[in-house]
Amino acid sequence: KNVGKISLEQIDSLSGKSFPLCMRQLHQSLRENHHLRHGGRMQYGLFLKGIGLSLEQALQFWRSEFIRGKVDADKFDKAYAYSIRHMFGKEGKRTDYTPYSCMKVILSNPPSQGDHHGCPFRHSEPELLKQKLQFYKVSLSGISQILELVKGMHYQLACQKYFELTHNIEDASFSLNHPNQYFIESQKVLGG
Ligand code: SF4
């Protein structure tokens, strides 16, 4: 329903303003490494589909980033384009895959070395999480509130706190359960 609502040029700025931390980190890794492994491509690719990227936009997005790295256009078309069409239900069983919920990201397929998918509130070491939050200009008092929630294993509440701190609101009026919901709520607050 929202297909084609955003342009590829908007993604960098949206990732800083309206993406939850899991997607912000996937986007940043993709831009830095010109590559994401399978788990990251699935988690991020389906999220992007959920915010409205069309199949054509998705192919262009992934291709243009991958060919800046070690993959040439020919290899991209042979090795990666299929899985992107697959995500959109255009190959294989033609299942139209839905973006992953927070519970799915938190509970299944934990990232290993070299992976950038997962939920940073659940899967990053507290010290590393703290560094990431500092890098994203979250205040020290905000960071300690977040780390306290993480300690109590309230990962989604920690994410919601991150939302409140980065949107300058006291109390988010929703209960977070999905990265795409985070995006929609953010756009509402920002009037996007
Ligand atoms: Fe992403 Fe959900 Fe984790 Fe937030 S709580 S970082 S939206 S998986």
Residue 68 main-chain phi, psi, to 5 deg? -80, -10
* φ and ψ at residue 116, rounded to 5 degrees: -125, 5
Instruction: Give yes or no for residue 166 CB within 6 A of ligand 1.
Output: no
| Average pLDDT of the segment spanning 117-134 | 97
Distance CA 118, CA 26 (A): 9
Per-residue confidence band for 49, with pLDDT thresholds at 50, 70 and 90: very high
CA–centroid distance, residue 87 to ligand 1 (Å): 20
Q: Tell me the per-residue pLDDT of 89-106, one tens digit each, with 9 for 90 and over.
A: 887 777 778 999 999 999
User: What is the SS3 assignment for 149?
Assistant: helix
102 Cβ closer than 6 Å to some ligand 1 atom? yes
Band of the pLDDT at 2, cuts 50, 70, 90? confident
Task: State the pLDDT at residue 91.
Answer: 78
For the cut 80, the answer to whether the pLDDT of residue 131 exceeds it is yes
Higher pLDDT, 16 or 91: 16
Write down the pLDDT at residue 92: 78
**How many angstroms separate the alpha carbon of residue 5 from the centre of ligand 1?**
23
Type and span of the H or E element at 106: helix 102-107
pLDDT tops 70 at residue 61: yes
> What is the interface pTM, i.e. ipTM, of the complex?
0.99
pLDDT number for residue 1: 56
Distance 119 CA to ligand 1 centre (A): 5
Q: Which of 101, 121, 136, 175 to mutate to test the pocket of ligand 1 (most atoms within 8 A of CB)?
A: 121
Choice from 119, 123, 153, 183 to test ligand 1 binding pocket (greatest atom count within 8 A of CB):
119
What does the DSSP assignment read for 113-133?
Answer: TT---S-HHHHS-HHHHHHHH
**pLDDT one-digit tens code per residue, 26-43:** 999 999 999 999 999 999
- The per-residue pLDDT for 166 is 97
Q: How confident is the model at residue 192 (pLDDT cuts 50, 70, 90)?
A: low
Q: Does 50 contact ligand 1 (Cβ within 6 A)? A: no
Q: Which pLDDT belongs to residue 132? A: 96
The rounded Å distance from CA 73 to ligand 1 centre is: 32
Q: Is 83 exposed, middle or buried (0-12, 13-18, 19+ CB in 10 A)?
A: middle
Report d(CA 97, CA 89) in Å as an integer.
Answer: 7
| Helix (H), strand (E) at residue 181 | helix 179-190
Please count the CA atoms within 13 angstroms of the CA of 33 that sit on its side-chain side: 14
Average pLDDT score over residue span 131-153: 97
- What six digits make up the tokens of 66? 């991958």
* Distance from Cα 74 to the centre of ligand 1, integer Å: 34
